[in-house]
Amino acid sequence: MQLLTRESLMSLEQYAARRPQFRAEVLAHKRDRSLALGSHATLYFEDRLTVQYQVQEMLRIERVFEPAGIEEELVAYNPLIPDGRNWKATFMIEYEDIWERRAALARLVGIEHEVWAQVCGFERVYAVADEDLERTTGDKTSSVHFLRFELTPAMAAAVRRGAAIAMGLSHEAYACTVEAVPESVRRLLAADLD
C-alpha cells in the first residue's frame, strides 16, 4: 500500500471544508475493519485511508501547516499502513467503568504479545507490538497498542485465494478465539495484502 505524502493530504482549509463528508466516508470504511475479541478487546485494522484520516485530524487539532510539522506527522503515522505482506491494527482494551478498566489493565500485563492471527492451514502468527515505544510497565498495560501481523508469502497467497482467518488472544487472564473472521473483514484483509 502506498505511503502518505504531503501531496496526498488536504490543506487545513480544504480539510475544514471537506471534513464532515470525509469523516462519514472513513467511519463507513472502518465498519468492516474491526474485529471484537471477546467483550473488552477490539482490533481496528488500519489502511491508507484510516491513517490519512488520523493524520488529517492531528494536523487540524494541532493547526500544523508547515512542511516540517507535516513531515513529523507522516513519519509517526505512515508505519501504521500495511505494506502488502502484513496487517497493521490498533488494539484497544475497552472497559467503560474506569475502576474496572484499571483493574483489568493491571491483570493484562503483556496481553499485546498474546494477540494472534492464523491463516487456515498455517501456524499462528503472533503480533509484533508497539514498535514505536513500550506501552506496558511492570504493573499495568496500556489500553491502546499498535500491532503488526507479519505473514509469509504462502500465507498471504492463501488469504488472497480465500483461506479462512482465525484470530484471538492467548493471555492467561483473557483468552478468546474468533474461529473465522467474518467474510466482510476477511475480504478487506486480503485486499491489504496486494
Residue 95 lies in a domain: yes
Which residues constitute the domain of residue 139? Answer: 6-191
pLDDT in tens, 51-86: 999 999 999 999 988 989 999 999 989 999 999 999
For 176, phi and psi rounded to 5 degrees?
Answer: -160, 140
pLDDT in tens, 118-130: 999 999 999 999 7
Question: Would you give the end-to-end CA distance of the chain in angstroms?
Answer: 7
Residue 38 lies in a domain: yes
Residue 89 lies in a domain: yes
**Helix or strand run (H / E) with residue 166:** strand 165-171
Give the closest residue to 93 by CA, choosing from 40, 136, 167.
40
The total domain count for the chain is 1
Residue 35 lies in a domain: yes
| Rounded Cα gap, residues 57 and 97, in angstroms | 27
In which band, very low, low, confident or very high, does the pLDDT at 194 lie, cut at 50, 70 and 90? confident
Residue 1 lies in a domain: no
Q: Is the pLDDT of residue 20 over 80?
A: yes
| Rounded Cα gap, residues 130 and 91, in angstroms | 10
Residue 37 lies in a domain: yes
Residue 15 lies in a domain: yes
In which band, very low, low, confident or very high, does the pLDDT at 1 lie, cut at 50, 70 and 90? confident
Residue 97 lies in a domain: yes
pLDDT for position 130: 74
